Structure formats: structure tokens, C-alpha cells
A and B are shown apart, each in its own frame.
Chain A
Amino acid sequence: MGSDTNVLVAGEATGTLIRLEEPLSFWGGLDPSTGSIIDQRHPQLGVNLSGHILAMAYGRGSSSSTGVLAEAIRLGTAPAAIILQEPDMIVMLGALVANELYGTTCPVVVVDRATFETFVNGLTVEILEGGAIIRVIPPFLCN
């Protein structure tokens, strides 16, 4: 797994995985002061993403999501890393700029659909800098 990973923003991260059932617009959908989902229509309303590896197929909604993600990273409430199925410049730029401004690390990687499907909630995932290989450390919640 991981050989086809496309690295949008490089970096190392480890965390338990939260897979979004629907895409999320960070602007209007994520409170950067807490890291929680505030989109009233999102099935995972109230879930806190701080420090988790976020798996989201693609971005949704607002162009301002970039700024909200950057602000969440600055405040330390953001996901530890983001795994996408489709490249998304709105997500990528938020992480890239925050990392540049504040010396933080929030890698963003894109995997193919088959790989994306293997990321289920609760897995512990590690993203590595070199080649950005994604490994599942102990898959205690495999289905």
C-alpha cells in the first residue's frame, strides 16, 4: 500500500483515522477554535478532528476553506494529516501556507480509490516523509 501516493504537502504524521462519510466544507463546517465539525447537515456533526488523520474523498463548498484550515493548523486544532482521493487545491493550500508561516506539519496526500476504501474509522495510520508511504500500524478495527 502507498506506492501510488501523490504527496501534495509533505510531512510526517501519526494518528487514529476519522473517515468522513460526506465531504466537508471547512469554512462554515469546521470551527477552527475547537476543531469540531459544525456543519448542521453533516452526518458527523460534533465530531472533533483535532490530531486525527482525516480521510475525506474530496473537498466541498467554500473557497474560504483554505483560510479556515490554515487557522486551525495555527491554533493546533487541525487534523494531523489529510488523506484525499482526489487532489484538492483548496485543502492543499491551507496546509502548505500554514506550514510555511508557522513551521507546523500537516501533510496532505492523495491515494487511489481502492486504497482510500481501506481507510476505516479507528485505524492508526502513519504517514512518512520519504515517499509518504502510509502504513496501518495495528489495525485493531479492521472489518
Chain B
Amino acid sequence: LLDIVGAHVDSCIFNGIAGLDFAERLRDGGATVCVPTTLNVSTLDLLHPELYRGDDESRTFSKRLVDAYIDMGGMPTFTCAPYQLSQRPAFGDQIAWAESNAIVFANSVLGARTNRYGDFIDISCAITGRAPAAGLHLDEGRRGTVLFRLVDLPDSLVAHDVFYPVLGHLIGLASGNGVPVIEGLPADTTEDQLKAIGAAAASSGSVALFHAVGVTPEATSLDAVSRDGDIDVVDITHRDIAAARDQLTTRTDLPLRAVALGTPHLSIEGFAQLIQLLDGVVTHDDVEFYVSTGRDTLADVERRGWLDALERAGVTLVTDTCTYVTPIIRRVDGVVMTDSGKWAWYAPGNLGVDVAFGSMAECVRSATAGRIVRDPELWHGV
């Protein structure tokens, strides 16, 4: 075992009585966390409870579950993007994080160290302040196992946010449970773009760490993250990207019911982009426009005076949860459009909706038009 400096607990999302029994057993036994511990999303929007369309019994159980984790000392952050909080792990920190997208971000982008933890062991690590000294906590486990080279992709596409969830989706499918290394990303790839890679790759696959050469902190060079060329090589072509993009859309020939942004929770930079796109537009009467974010980011949005612009455009802000994990969207008998590879992966199974993947700008234009609108230039050359 090794000591950890923090934990992120996913067990606070209600998935059934077993999780509640476990949490209340621990709480009633007097357990408390001994390291700073953030909490993942709930199935409830605790700030906007009226958005929840589930049954009263599940609502009661969900609330009891959240209360148990707060009683044990969890911080009421309720976000799947704890790396967007003001305090976040530093390079080399040993931590125990659950929530697949947070795990991959912490390991890859921050250079902190966590294994792919799930429910129950997350709170156990938080209570003991310890984690197994194995896997991604150790140098040996962090070496790349498969190298993805971007070979013939247009620079204009690689510069665009829409490319990153598609790349992540593809890498998740092709990496198994290994550690992918990506070669060919621009040095100025943003945190939001890296977040999109990780979230998609941890949904379609089991990726808990990726390296991007010249971009992520451990990947100062290919040699730094591989062992003397001992690595499988996969070339990613424009055809692979087009195929992966198409897998994120189930169908488009049904009415557009909603647009869902903010999976994982939208960052303040994401809101800045959205505010620009929303200038002068209003959501169509037949479409719901949801943006999911953390309550801390919401407070920042409020401080910056952006709430009016969002409200005028017809955006419903969802906090503490997400639109693909719990019943919020009114009509699920049509298509929902999203810019998230993770939303596109899980929502058809969770909600029974069809999904269309597109850029944030396409999502805004579609919400305004009341039907799916594509930007024909976006995928030029693919």
C-alpha cells in the first residue's frame, strides 16, 4: 500500500440499494475520510430539484446516499470533473480517484497517479488514506503499450474541438486495457480537448492513462513513455476518423428533441465558447437545450454575468448530475444532439434515445433551427 493525498468518490451516484446499504453501513460504523475527498455527480440536481423526472422512491434513496457520503466527510462538489475545481492534484501526486473520465484526466493531463478505481474502493481509500501500490501508481505501469500515429489528417480538423471526442472514441476501442500513446497532436492542444479524448476513450474502452507526445506532462518524447521501441504501432487515417465519427451517431431521421452539452461537466472555457455561439440566437420551441456543469463552475458563470445570456437563449443549466445518467430530458422518443463522445456512447443504453454527434456550433445551430444542421466544411478532407 501507499499513502494518498486525495480521493474522488463515485459511489455517491445511486445505482441501487446495494450501494446505499454499503454507504450507510460504513457511515453508521463511524467511518470518516482522512484525506481531502471530492464527490462525483449524484442522480439528482440538488440545486434545481425540479429538473428530476424520476420516481419519488429513487429520489429519496439518492438523497440518503449523498447524505451518507457528506456525513463521512466528502465535499459537496458533485462534479465528474474535479480537475476543474480550484484545488486539483499536482504532478506526481498519489491519489485514489473513481469516475472514468476523471481518472484518465488526472493520470494523463495532470500527471497525478491513480488506478482505475470504481465504487466502494474509492471511499475505502479515502477512509484509510491508502491505495494499493500497484499498476498506474508505479512508473512501470505507466509505460505506453500502443502508439497511435496521426498520418494524413487535415490541420484544420486537428485544430477543431470536434476532432477530439472522435479520436478518443477510436483509441478507446483500439487500446484494450493498455496505455495508448498519441503522436501528432499540436503542442497547443487544450485541456478541454484532452478531456474529450479521455472521456470518450474511457467509455468505449478501459483507458485510464494516455500519453500525447509533446503535449501531456510525462510524454516529453516517445522514448520517455515507451521502452526502446517496444510498442505496437497503429496509424490513424482520415478513413478511421470518419468511421469513428459515424459510430457516434445512431440515426438522424427522427425529430430533434434536445441538445445536451457538458459531458463531462462544461468548463469555464467551454462556457466562454458557448456564450459567443449563443449571441443573438434562441432555442427552437420544440427543442430542449441542456448544459451540465459543476456547481463551482456555475458560481463562476454567475460571477462573470453570463447567466442572462444563457437564459435568454433558452438554455437549461443542470448541476450536480448529468443528462445521460438520470431522467431529466422530457422527450426521449427522438434524437438528442451532443458534442460529447461519452454522452453519445452511454445515452442510447441509459435513456433509450437516439443520438447525433456534432460540434458545439452544430449543436447550437440545430437547437435554434429545431432540426439537425450540419456544417459542411467541418469534416473537409475526411
Residues of A within 8 A of B (CB): 23, 25, 27-29, 32, 38-41, 57-68, 70-71, 73-75, 86, 89-90, 93-94, 96-98, 101-102
Give B contacts to A, CB under 8 Å. Answer: 10-11, 13, 15-19, 21-22, 25, 98-100, 103, 115-122, 176-177, 202-206, 247, 250, 345-346, 348-350
For B13, list chain A residues within 8 Å (CB): 64, 67
* Assembled-state Cα–Cα distance A90/B121 (Å): 8
Give chain A residues whose Cβ lies under 8 Å from the Cβ of B18. 67, 70-71, 73-74, 97-98, 101-102
Are B17 and A61 neighbours in the complex by a CB distance under 8 Å?
no
Assess A63 versus B206: contact at CB under 8 Å? Given A27-B15, A40-B250, A71-B16: no
Shortest C-beta distance, A115 to chain B (Å), equals: 18
Contact A64:B121 (CB < 8 A) given known A101-B21, A101-B22 = no
Within the complex, the shortest CB–CB distance from A29 to chain B, in Å, comes to 6
- Shortest Cβ distance from A32 into B: residue: B16
- When chains A and B are docked, how far (Å) is the Cα of A101 from the Cα of B121? 15
B349, A68: Cβ atoms under 8 Å? no
In the complex the two chains form, is B120's CB within 8 Å of A93's CB? Answer: yes
Contact B350 A28 (CB under 8 A): yes
**Assembly CA distance A59 to B16 (angstroms):** 20
| Contact between A63 and B118, CB atoms less than 8 A apart | yes
- The answer to whether A64 and B118 touch across the interface, beta carbons within 8 angstroms, is yes
Would B11 and A67 count as touching, CB distance under 8 A?
Answer: yes
Q: Which residues of B contact A97 (CB under 8 A)?
A: 18, 22, 120
Contact A66 B120 (CB under 8 A): yes
- Measured between beta carbons, the chain B residues less than 8 angstroms from A70 are 16, 18-19, 22, 119-120
**A residues near B349, Cβ cutoff 8 Å:** 28-29, 38-41
Residues of A with C-beta under 8 A to B346: 28, 61-62
Other-chain contact of B206, A39, A58, A74, A102 (Cβ < 8 Å) = A58
Contact A71 B19 (CB under 8 A): yes
| B250: chain A residues within 8 A (beta carbon) | 40
A–B Cβ pairs within 8 angstroms, 6 of them: A57-B176, A62-B100, A67-B15, A67-B120, A70-B19, A86-B177
Cβ contacts under 8 Å, B203 to chain A = 25, 61-62
State the CA gap A94–B103 with chains docked (Å). Answer: 19
A113 to B119, CA, bound (A): 27
Q: Do A89 and B19 form a contact, CB below 8 Å, given A41-B345, A61-B206, A63-B103?
A: no
Docked-complex contact B100 and A68, CB < 8 angstroms:
no
Q: B118 is contacted by which of A28, A32, A58, A65 (Cβ under 8 Å)?
A: A65
- Inter-chain contact B98/A63, CB cutoff 8 Å: yes
Q: Most chain-B Cβ atoms within 10 A of its Cβ — which of A41, A64, A75, A93?
A: A64
Whether B205 and A68, one on each chain, are in contact in the complex, defined by CB atoms closer than 8 angstroms, is: no
Q: Are B16 and A67 in contact (CB under 8 A)?
A: yes
12 more A-B residue pairs beyond the given contacts A25-B203, A41-B247, A62-B346, with a C-beta to C-beta distance below 8 A: A57-B176, A63-B10, A63-B100, A64-B10, A67-B120, A70-B22, A70-B119, A71-B15, A74-B21, A93-B118, A94-B120, A97-B22
Q: Tell whether A61 pairs with B100 under 8 Å between CB atoms, given A66-B120, A93-B119, A97-B22.
A: yes
* Min C-beta distance of A67 to chain B, whole Å: 4
The docked-state distance in angstroms from the alpha carbon of A98 to that of B19 is 9
CA distance A28 to B353 in the complex (A): 13
- The minimal Cβ–Cβ distance linking B201 to chain A, given in whole angstroms, is 10
